């Protein structure tokens, strides 16, 4: 996956009332499996090795202070609530007292796009994300590559 600018289509799939930060990645997958955006989200997060899944849930809950839903669940992806399913995209959300985050996963042809949007609730949320963001930028592409193989 490579970094890309946040597109209007990805931004339109985000339902946060305010976007303080947004980053996006894209991958062109030559032999693109016919997965829906939700199936891709599940493959990336829930298809990760068990220690990575435990790390993600702990980092989200304890590090970012967000509330997570049950896992496994049809309405949640590794604890992230499915808040919107649209044409070629799915929007996952987690909220806490310091920030709200949404991951928008979109599929168009042989391209997978993944954007993360954040709504900070004060300085503490911004500081926490500044610490988590480098990990996010390394881990998300690695998990997506794994899901594509």
Query: For the domain that residue 23 is a member of, what is the CATH number?
Result: 3.30.530
pLDDT at 33 over 80: no
- pLDDT of 29 reads 79
Portion of the chain with pLDDT greater than 90, in percent? 89
Q: How many domains does the chain fold into?
A: 1
Q: Quick one: CA dihedral 97, 118, 11, 89, positive or negative?
A: negative
- pLDDT of 32 reads 61
Tell me which residue of 79, 91, 81 sits closest to 9, measured CA to CA.
91
Portion of the chain with pLDDT greater than 70, in percent? 98
Distance between CA 91 and CA 101 in Å, rounded? 10
- pLDDT of 50 reads 98
Distance between CA 30 and CA 7 in Å, rounded? 22
Position 109 confidence tier, pLDDT thresholds 50, 70, 90: confident
- pLDDT of 34 reads 78
Edge-to-edge order in the sheet of strand 80-86: 2-4, 21-28, 111-120, 99-108, 89-95, 80-86, 76-77
pLDDT at 68 over 80: yes
- pLDDT of 149 reads 83
Distant-in-sequence, close-in-space partners of 34: CB < 8 Å, separation ≥ 6? none
pLDDT at 63 over 80: yes
- pLDDT of 25 reads 97
- pLDDT of 148 reads 86
Q: Quick one: CA dihedral 40, 45, 129, 65, positive or negative?
A: positive
Distance between CA 54 and CA 35 in Å, rounded? 24
What is the arithmetic mean of pLDDT over 119-144? Answer: 96
Helix (H) or strand (E) segment spanning residue 52: helix 50-58
Residue range of the domain that includes 40: 2-148
């Amino acid at each position: 996956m490579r970094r890309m600018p946040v597109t209007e289509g990805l931004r339109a799939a985000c339902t946060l009332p305010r976007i303080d930060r947004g980053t996006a990645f894209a991958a062109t997958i030559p032999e693109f499996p016919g997965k829906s955006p939700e199936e891709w989200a599940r493959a990336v997060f829930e298809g990760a090795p068990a220690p990575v899944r435990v790390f993600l849930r702990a980092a989200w809950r304890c590090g970012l202070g967000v509330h997570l839903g049950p896992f496994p669940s049809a309405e949640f992806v590794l604890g992230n609530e499915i808040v919107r399913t649209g044409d070629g995209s799915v929007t996952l959300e987690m909220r806490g007292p310091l920030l709200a985050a949404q991951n928008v996963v979109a599929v168009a042809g042989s391209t997978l796009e993944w954007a993360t949007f954040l709504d900070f609730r004060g300085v503490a949320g911004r500081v926490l994300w500044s610490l988590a963001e480098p990990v996010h930028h390394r881990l998300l592409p690695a998990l997506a590559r794994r899901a594509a193989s």
